[in-house]
Every structure is written in C-alpha cells, then in structure tokens.
Structure 1
Amino acid sequence: MQPYALRIQVLEADRIGNPLGKMDTATIAGGVRLDAAGAPVSYFIYDQHPGSAQAVGARAFRGEWVDRIGNRSGRRRVLHHFRKQRPGAVRGVPYLAPVIDCIKQISRYTEAEIMAAVVTSYMTVFIETPEGTPSGVFQGETKQEEESGEIGLGMASVVGLAPGEKANMVNPGRPNPNFEPFILAVIKQIGMGLGLPYELLLKQFNASYSSSKAALLDAWAYFRGVRNWLALSFCQPIYETWMTEAVATGRIEAPGYFSDPLMRWAYTRAAWPGDSMGSIDPKDEVAAYVAAIDARLMTRERAMWELFSDSFDDKYSQMKSEHDRLQADGILPVPKAGAPAPPQNKPPEEPQT
C-alpha cells in the first residue's frame, strides 16, 4: 500500500495536440490553450497515441482539456517539460530535429553501399556458344532466364549468350574507400548539431589523453546544463509536491512550512548531482582533487560527487567506522616514506575560568 497519493504519469509529446487535429489559432497552439497574456492555461491530451492502430479517423484526436493549475490545491497538475529556445514558444523542439535528415541520409547511403558490395561479390560466368544455347554441362541451369528473356547476376550462376553477344564486365570498385571518411564527416556534423564531440558520439578515443579529456570536458559542459534544466524543470517540482503532501498528512514535521515561504524553500532544498563524469586517468585525477581540497578550492562533498556520485554525508559514517576499526586493531595503512605524520586528534582543552 502506498502511503502517498501523488502519482506521476509521463506522456509522449505526440499525445498533446489541438482538438480534432485542427489548425492553430490565437488562443490554441500545439494543444496548449493560452490566456490573454500568452501564458499556458491548459493542455489537450489525446486518449491514445495518434499513430496507434486503434486511432482511426476522428478517434485519433479525441481527448480532454487538463488544467495546468489545480482549482482546489492551486498547485501545478501538468509539468510541460521542454527547453524554451525562443520567446513565446509554447512547444519544444525534439533533440534530434537539427540532424534527423543527416541520420536518414546516412542510413540510405549505408544501405546502398552494402547492396553494391553484395552485388559486386556475385561471380557470374557468361558462356558464348555457336548455336546460342548452353552446353550440355550447364543445360537447364538457365531455363528461367530463357523463359523470361531476362539475364541477371547471381551467385555462381552461368548465363548463355547468343552468337555475336559479348559480356562486358564492369568493376564498380567496391568496397568504396571513401565510405568511412564520408561517414565520419557527416557524424562530425551531427555531433556539432547535438552539442557532442564526435569522439564521444562514436565512443572511440583514439587520440592522445589531452584530446580525449578535452572531448569529455566539452561534452560534460553540455551535460551539466541539461542536467540542471532537468532537475529544475522536472525533478524539483515533483519533490516539492511530494514534500507538501508529506507535511500536510503529518508524515513529516516541518514547522512553518505553509506559513513562511523561506522556511518552505529551506525544507525543499535539494541537490541533484547525478552520475559522475568518469575518469580516464584515475591516479592523476584523484591527485588533482586532493590538491584542490588541500588548497581549500573544493569541498570534500563536491569531490565525492564528481568522482564517485556519492554523498559525503552518507559515506562519512561508514568511513569513520572503518577507520576506527582499523585503528583499534592496529592495521592502519603505513604512511609512505617521507610523507608527513598524520595529525593526532587532541581532546578539547578545558576553558579557563
């Protein structure tokens, strides 16, 4: 049994559209109803996906209007999760929209090259006889061609020719040596359109450490921006809604939550670090983090997040417990030669009266 009434339903963008598939108007655009100021008021949600097998005719565009803000609670009922790239935009742009044509052309080009390579691999022998009929050895193997009047290439096929006919063999030069450079050039354009280095797009890091590291850093500059947008637009509102229900039902005690906006902001503060970037050279990168911590340029909590996607507060108790057990049994790691002695924890001095 679930203790909370909050439920989240994720809807595909195609299920939001104008009633009966009508054209946009001054107040309805892309399934979004706008007020006089151009702010979204409600959304028209189809009962089923317009492209499903059950969506035939007018049934493909049946649905209902759902208000963005609940009348009783005053809280959001619909989270329209999209990146607003232009002022006044009411719908978002798909992530692959800038490069979808390039992806389709790559698919067509690849299929054409594969087919050309397959045709080139066929070995066909043309036999010319004085009577224009196959010899006895191959009698019957070209019956289908004789009946249809067509001559085609095939795997290990033998084709008879009439007197005076010649077979001119053409070498198309497959596999095409320019296939891979051309594909890589198009993939680089796709990477630029998506904001991703092509090394990461291909998952091939054949260059030096510096180049690979630069590609990862460039990609993570984009990933952090998307992650921050995702947290603020999707994760944080859902967390705040859950927290409001938990306080309202008495499962969590939070004095001042409903009366003081600053207290409510303090209660609902949250960090959404996500996964770590990973490491190409863990030894040097950990040493860099340690140096940044010792120089007071970074907190241990931030370093723990970026290296291992863990919370320092959650790991501290476990690390302290392990250290105390190793110290009690006398099996702490021996410091390396020349390393400074570990600091000794001294009991706090009694205040002088």
Structure 2
Amino acid sequence: MTRFPSARAQVIARNRAVKARGLGRVRSVGGSYRGSMSNWNTPRMTQDGEASERAVISRRAEDLVDNNPNAASVIDSMAVNVIGPGLRPQARVDRKALGLTEDQADALQASMEKAYKVWNLEAHSRGLATFNDLQFMGLHSVLTKGEFLFLPRMLDDAKYPNRSFSFALQDIHPSRLSTPADFFNRENIVDGVEINGDGRPEAYWVSSPGQFNTGEMQSSGSYTRIPAENGHRPGMLHGFRLTREEQYRGRSVLSPAMKYYRLLDDSYDYNLISQIMAASIPVFISTQNPYEAAAQGSTVPEPVDENGNPNPLFHKSYGPGTILYGAPNEKPHILESNHPGNNFEAFARLILRAMAAATGMPYEVLSKDFSQTNYSSARAALLEAWRVYLIYRAWAGVHFCQVNWAMVQEEAWLRGMWEMPSGAPDFYDARHAYLGTRWIGPARGYIDPVKEIVASIKGLENNIITHADVVAEQGGDGQEVAEIRAAEIKRDRDLGLAPEEAA
C-alpha cells in the first residue's frame, strides 16, 4: 500500500526546499496583524447595512452644510465654480453626418439654442426655478447628499396654457428613494433601486411620506414604483459619481473627513465659550453680612427661609458686569482661560488642510484664506481646484444637462420650433448627430491678467489653442463673441473710426 506524506510533512519539505534555494518573498506589513497593525480589522457590510450607513452619512452631511461654516464653504465653492449661473449649451450638430452645409448647420443650431432658452424658463414643474437653478440644486445635492433625483414629467397643456413646452422636471429629495419595509428580502432591490438580471436599474421605489413620518420603514403601499426608462426617454434622472464597484447610490464628498468637520466645529465652540466665560468674570466681594451690603432691589435671598432654616447663597450663573456678595468665609477662585493655546491656529489649519484634501480641494478654497500664499502658490492651488471643477462640470454636462437637452429638442422638433433642412435624415434616425452639444460653464477668472492674457496670445500665435477655447475659459460663447466683434468692426468702419484688427 502506497503511503503519502502528511500535509504537515509536505509543508516542512516545501519550506526546506525554498530555504535551500534561497528563495522567499518579503512579508508585507500591510497584510500582517503584528505591531501597530494588530488591531486593524476591516469588517464588511451587507447591502442593508451599507444602505443604512449611507442614509446616516447623508443626514449628517446635510446637518454639516446647514450648520458648519467650513462644510458650507467647500460645498458652495464647488457648486459656484462648477455650475455658477448655469452651464450654457452650444449646439454642435454633426453636419457631415447630416449632409448639411455650414450655413444650414448654423441656422439649425441657432434655432435649437433658441428653443432651449424658452424651455430654460419653464424647466421646473413647480414653476419656482429655471433649468440653471436646477443645475445648481442638482450639483449641490450630489456634493452634499451624494446624488440628485429628478422626475421628468409632461405637464397638461390645458392646465398650463401659457407654457411653450410640456416637459418639466420635478425635484425629489434623495432620502425618499429607499426599499419598502416588506421588500427587504428581495435581492433585486438595492437601497430603493430595482435592478434586472444584468444589474441595470429597472425601476425606482420612491416613498410618499405623510405629515408625521419621514418615509422610512413604510410598506410598499406607501411607495410609487417609477420605471427607469419610458421607451427611449429616461423615467427618472438619478445621478451620482460612480467611484466603487457595484454601486447604485451616491455618497457625500464630506464623508471621508466628516469626523474632522464635527470635532473641529466642537473645538471652535468650546474655545469660544471659554473666552465668553473668562470675559464674564464678575466682581466678587467678601463680606461678613452680604445681605446688608447688597444694594436695594438685589436678588440676594433672605438669610433664612420661610421655615427659619439657614438659606445659603449659591451662584449658578451670572452675566458680565455682575457684582456678587459672598457668604461669610467665602473667597473667590478666579478662573483663567488659557484657550485657545498658542498652537491652536496652526493645529486648526492642519485639520482644515486634511478636510480640504478629502474633498479634492486645496486648503485656500475651503478656508478662503490666501494670506499664507504668494502668486505662484495661489495659482497652483486654483489650478488644482479647477481640475476638480472641470471633472464635475463634464460629469454634470453629460449626465444631467445633455439628457435634458435631448428631451427638450425632441419636443421642440415635434412642436415645429425648428425644422430639418431638406434632404436631412429623420430626427429619430440620427438623434446623436442632431443632439451634439458643448456645455460652457462660468469663467475661471484671472489671478494676474497680464501674464495670463499674454499666455493666451502666445497659444493662439502658435496654433496651440483656438479663439473659441480662450473665450470658453472665460465662460463665453466663441460664436457669439465672433459675431459681436464683427458687428463692432463694421460699426467702426461706418463711423470712420480706425478698425481694430480682428485677433
């Protein structure tokens, strides 16, 4: 009978062979449980646990943005620089694919942009905001709560006869998107998002909270199931930054440093209260009979109570400028505040840098403090910030603005607000060729205008950039600026003025 070596014997033999050959891999500290790494465990969560954690993070982030100046600063700075007054579209139809001349393409693009401007004023189903406002709201929601939620609706023309478009957007708070309590065991519903076998969102479960509840832990009877798509149009606009595998909901950008925001805010509060208490130390007078020494009308109690028992005097609170008369044998112990310490400002700045880095922003943007920088450092900080702004701007343009542009132009074409040139393909046969768009955001601005304008001129002279690129960096429309410049040159000629050379 053949005998095989035991498992232990095999391991010993293999280790001896490796040692004899001088081979072996260096052990990684990151994967060990020794020394300072011994208590570093990384527990995993279930889908239900992850949904619960995300909801808590969202609520805490909202609280920070409402009550914490640093959190409000970074969120508002990002929203203002990414969206500002709103991303503006430049229609860019694919004229070669559509077989259009340059003049035909220009006329078509102008008609499409005109239709969008009309809809921009009617975009909100509740009639309270323009589409520019909804862009800002959407990005603010993504940064704060991790996601936005808008329901595309077709309003009744008879009910709103003064509208030019039926299409409008209804804003929905992301907290209403959740899994009904009686559907927790369904594997195809992940945190309110119903998915199909391919993992694609198929429907969204939106709660209808009543007056006295928040919509959590309700049964499916209190929910509305909204399909993810209605034909070729989206049934729900649900946007978030996809940063993790198998992700269906978004998380706030404040999440990684949320503890720092809260603790630093508490530190500010405690130090401020300490200063207030130190500034409110009253005058304390020691006397044998405080009751006779107290001024008439004083709130000092009688020496004895109504039963004849001694009534000692205890001071629980006082305001600035108060004169207190102590009981016999009482002596004051004056409190001195040493807060904040000498290193508090440097320490707070260090924490603020960590908080800013967690959101991808430089310290100067979060704190609005440029006192520690020179021109080169300030420019480097703002360039770093603008890399982040442009990423979010491109994301908002693709996942929000462009989706709505497509629905607007479809209705505009059906209503006859623009027509396809003769011989051009049908709208539904060439939707992508008709719907090309460039979204332009607010200007970057100059730190040193002379240096940066000279750099733009050098770039134009060497064909590195275009006039449209230069204008777009300042939040303008290259085509519109060219038309204005042409009109100015013509006007100067008509008035007999020396025309400026077109750049």
| Counterpart position of 1:312 | 478
- Aligned residue for 2:204, secondary structure, equals strand
Which of 90, 101, 104 aligns to 2:248? It is 90
The verdict on how the C-alpha distance between 1:53 and 1:140 changes in structure 2, with shifts beyond 3 A counting, is same
Unaligned runs of 5+ in 1: 335-341, 344-353
Q: Is it true that 1:7 corresponds to 2:168 in the alignment?
A: yes
Alpha-carbon distance, 1:165 to partner: 3.4
| Cα pair 1:188 1:197 within 8 Å, conserved | yes
CA distance in 2 between partners of 1:145 and 1:285 (Å): 78
The verdict on how the C-alpha distance between 1:191 and 1:226 changes in structure 2, with shifts beyond 3 A counting, is same
What is the aligned-residue identity percentage?
Answer: 24
CA distance in 2 between partners of 1:12 and 1:24 (Å): 25
| Counterpart position of 2:354 | 189
Alpha-carbon distance, 1:20 to partner: 3.9
CA distance in 1 between partners of 2:425 and 2:299 (Å): 91
CA distance in 1 between partners of 2:215 and 2:186 (Å): 24
The verdict on how the C-alpha distance between 1:17 and 1:58 changes in structure 2, with shifts beyond 3 A counting, is closer
The verdict on how the C-alpha distance between 1:120 and 1:60 changes in structure 2, with shifts beyond 3 A counting, is farther
CA distance in 2 between partners of 1:156 and 1:304 (Å): 61
- Aligned residue for 1:143, secondary structure, equals coil
Structure 1 moving runs of 4+ over 6 Å: 56-61
Q: Is it true that 1:243 corresponds to 2:440 in the alignment?
A: no
**CA-based RMSD:** 2.8
Which of 287, 292, 299 aligns to 2:454? It is 287
Unaligned runs of 5+ in 2: 1-161, 304-310
| Cα pair 1:142 1:159 within 8 Å, conserved | no
| Cα pair 1:24 1:30 within 8 Å, conserved | no
CA distance in 1 between partners of 2:412 and 2:213 (Å): 40
| Counterpart position of 2:57 | none
Q: Is it true that 1:256 corresponds to 2:425 in the alignment?
A: yes
Q: Is it true that 1:269 corresponds to 2:428 in the alignment?
A: no
> Aligned pairs, how many?
328
- Aligned residue for 1:7, secondary structure, equals strand
CA distance in 1 between partners of 2:275 and 2:401 (Å): 50
Higher relative contact order (CA 8 A, sep 6+): 2
| Counterpart position of 2:237 | 79
| Counterpart position of 1:278 | 445
TM-score relative to the length of structure 2: 0.60
| Cα pair 2:278 2:335 within 8 Å, conserved | no
CA distance in 2 between partners of 1:87 and 1:99 (Å): 21
| Cα pair 2:208 2:215 within 8 Å, conserved | no
CA distance in 2 between partners of 1:11 and 1:289 (Å): 43
The verdict on how the C-alpha distance between 1:4 and 1:163 changes in structure 2, with shifts beyond 3 A counting, is closer
CA distance in 1 between partners of 2:380 and 2:302 (Å): 61
| Cα pair 2:489 2:499 within 8 Å, conserved | no
Alpha-carbon distance, 1:137 to partner: 5.2
User: Which amino acid in 2 is paired with 1:292?
Assistant: G
Which of 68, 72, 85 aligns to 2:228? It is 68
- Aligned residue for 2:325, secondary structure, equals strand
User: Which amino acid in 2 is paired with 1:266?
Assistant: A
Q: Is it true that 1:321 corresponds to 2:479 in the alignment?
A: no
User: Which amino acid in 2 is paired with 1:286?
Assistant: I
Could you report, residue by residue, the CA deviation over 1:272-303 in whole angstroms, capped at 9, with x for unpaired residues? Answer: 12111111111221111011001100000011
| Cα pair 1:41 1:69 within 8 Å, conserved | yes
Could you report, residue by residue, the CA deviation over 1:5-40 in whole angstroms, capped at 9, with x for unpaired residues? Answer: 211122221111112486464111111111122211
